[in-house]
Chains A and B, each alone.
Chain A
Amino acid sequence: MEQYELVIIGGGPAGLAAAVAARQAGVRDILILERDRELGGILNQCIHNGFGLHTFREELTGPEYAQRFIRQVQDLEIPYKLGTMVLSLDKEKTITAMNPEDGLFQLRPKAVILAMGCRERPRGALNIPGTRPAGIYTAGTAQRLVNMEGYLPGRECVILGSGDIGLIMARRMTLEGAHVPVVAELMPYSGGLKRNIVQCLDDFGIPLKLSHTVVDIRGRERLEGVTLARVENGRPVPGTEEYYPCDTLLLSCGLIPENELTREAGAVINPVTNGPAVNDALETSIPGVFAAGNVLHVHDLVDYVSQEAAAAGRSAAQYIQQGEPALEAALPVRCYGGVRYTVPSAIRHQSLRSEDVTIRFRVDNVYQNKTIVLRAGSEIVLRRKKAVLAPGEMETVTWKAGALPEGITEIRLGLEEA
């Protein structure tokens, strides 16, 4: 069995940033395992611009952003294996993987960083009635076909779901000569960034129908059309049906962290994020197994993925260099008043004494003029006013911790009236 100090599962933005940070923190033996034919992950198919404003102070496309990190990985001579599928991970951190050169092999590193990213919610998980013809794709699959393989999936293209990939694909299909008559969104608000609504829909006159969904799919071999209807209280409203003839339906209906390996290893999963529950070191319930990026919770900005993954890389380095920290119960972080989840979901006592603690979270609805409040026991430790909060936009608070009153058993993060 080959020995490595640190194995990183996934060579996308999270895996790359984690590797660079771990090496910079002094970890010598690092190996990145990547399933695809190249490093960079999903960034390779995200050819649009808008990446890296926070990290590099310039607006890059996905492949350019990826290249910045790939270059660092190469300059730091961090080894990686492409075309490599990890089959299993266990509690003892044994990784079983395979690829065409090495065949089946096992690794037993001191620490593991999970950076497997996420997957799109497919039609099968959406309960859309109708026939099952060809021509129905997740938006990301269509994105890969157009941007990497050079195929156009169709000419008349309805999009269900207004997540960022759906919005980006509305523009992309239009530029490639297809017609996008409508983007339908089940919720009364878009799940995508505001800038994408402006420059992907408004620029091209593509209507966004909020509170609408697909209630029927027609076509035997190939998709012939879909029926949209307005939705109220979770139900289609009779009489509001509209038929759209089309040969393609793209689904942008949410992303799910890809945690088969994490579950199999026995790590505790947060039921809200579908990612592992982690403490502020981004360590899962299995000591020495860390997680970052979309495998942990779905991000809307890659810059935050890189930041989070770098923190995981530094935590893994500390774990490798200092060994298991003295066991100290962590304080749970609980949500209230519209906060849907927090990452981390627990904060270690030692961090509260010495470090700034970053908490990322999402809200469950659109809110206006609220105050984000962080409470330690009965004490308010942070307040921040926000004009608008929306489920599509991740929020971050950084808490300059320090001396805390005695006897605190939990931290609470919520929204209160401004």
Chain B
Amino acid sequence: MEKAQLICIGCPLGCALEAELENGSVVRVSGNTCKNGEKYARKELTNPTRIVTTTVRVTGGTIPVVSVKTAADIPKGQIFACVQALGAVEVPAPVALGQVVLPNVCGTGVDVIATKAVAKQE
């Protein structure tokens, strides 16, 4: 049996997790405070994912860039591809909070959405 030590990133508590693996699959998780810890350990050891946050350029708005995030977590290996795809995106103002700025980023099935509203420059 293999053991893996992880730090949960589910919340700022940062629980120290210990996962037991058998033939590459997680059989037991300990050290977690809540069920998210167990979920995180299983995912992190099989298919690690992250929510990606960055900014995209806004045209004609009161501010030059708007903050965005992936609406759900995407595979860790896709973080740079996601940010690169967003480098080419420009959204015209006004931008609404939650507006999709790039659908289905890198074929992940996850949309990138604005996390702030931007008004049009009068």
Residues of A within 8 A of B (CB): 44, 47-50, 53, 59-64, 67, 146-150, 175-176, 193-195, 197-199, 203, 300-301, 388, 393
Contacts and interface: CB of A to CB of B under 8 A. Distances in A.
11 contacts: A49-B69, A61-B53, A63-B116, A64-B115, A64-B116, A67-B116, A146-B55, A147-B55, A150-B57, A176-B54, A198-B7
Contact of A63 (B8, B51, B67, B79): B67
B9 interface: yes
A323 B53 CA distance: 47
B97 A67 contact: yes
Contacts of A48: 53
Nearest to B115: A61
Contacts of A49: 51, 53, 69
Contacts of A53: 11-12
Contacts of A64: 97, 115-116
Question: What 8 pairs between A and B have smallest CB-CB spacing?
Answer: A194-B14, A47-B67, A63-B116, A195-B9, A150-B65, A150-B64, A61-B115, A53-B11
Given A64-B115, A198-B7, A147 B67 contact: yes
Nearest to A194: B14
Given A47-B115, A150-B55, A61 B67 contact: yes
Contacts of B50: 199, 203
A50 B9 CA distance: 9
A149 B64 CA distance: 6
Interface residues of B, number: 29
B21 interface: no
A75 B80 CA distance: 39
Contacts of B9: 195, 198-199
B63 A148 contact: yes
A50 B12 contact: yes
Contacts of B117: 67
B55 A47 contact: yes
Contact of A195 (B11, B76, B116): B11
Contacts of B100: none
B9 to A, nearest CB: 4
B51 A194 contact: no
B8 A195 contact: yes
Contacts of A67: 97, 116-117
B111 to A, nearest CB: 15
B110 interface: no
A193 B12 contact: yes
Contact of A148 (B7, B65, B76): B65
B8 A47 contact: no
B76 A203 contact: yes
